[in-house]
Structure 1
């Protein structure tokens, strides 16, 4: 995977993560649950060549 593709892929993941959090907050999901989800998501590494 070239550097450009890597940045697009990882940027898309971050954008999707932000949208998911925004939707959960709009639906009234508890902040503690959102924090647990974020903790598990951030443990996953970004793609590197």
Structure 2
């Protein structure tokens, strides 16, 4: 690895992974709502 810079903070690397994980979480949430028939707030007991 030629690049020895830190990978912390608002770097392109961190933001790319943050976006990927956010998209994954959103898709999992939508699938869970579809399968259970309840919204996310209902599932955790807030509604």
Normalising by structure 2, we get a TM-score of 0.57
Higher relative contact order (CA 8 A, sep 6+): 1
User: Hey, which bits of structure 1, 4+ residues long, moved more than 4 A?
Assistant: none
Unaligned runs of 5+ in 2: 1-6
Task: Note the alpha carbon deviations across 1:4-45, whole angstroms, 9 max, x for none.
Answer: 111011101110111001111221242211xx3xxxxxxxxx
Figure out how many residues of one structure are paired with residues of the other and give that number.
34
TM-score when normalising by structure 1:
0.56
| Structure 1: tracts of 5 or more residues without a match | 37-49
Q: Does 1:22 align with 2:30?
A: yes
Query: What is the RMSD of the two structures over their aligned residues, measured on CA atoms?
Result: 1.6
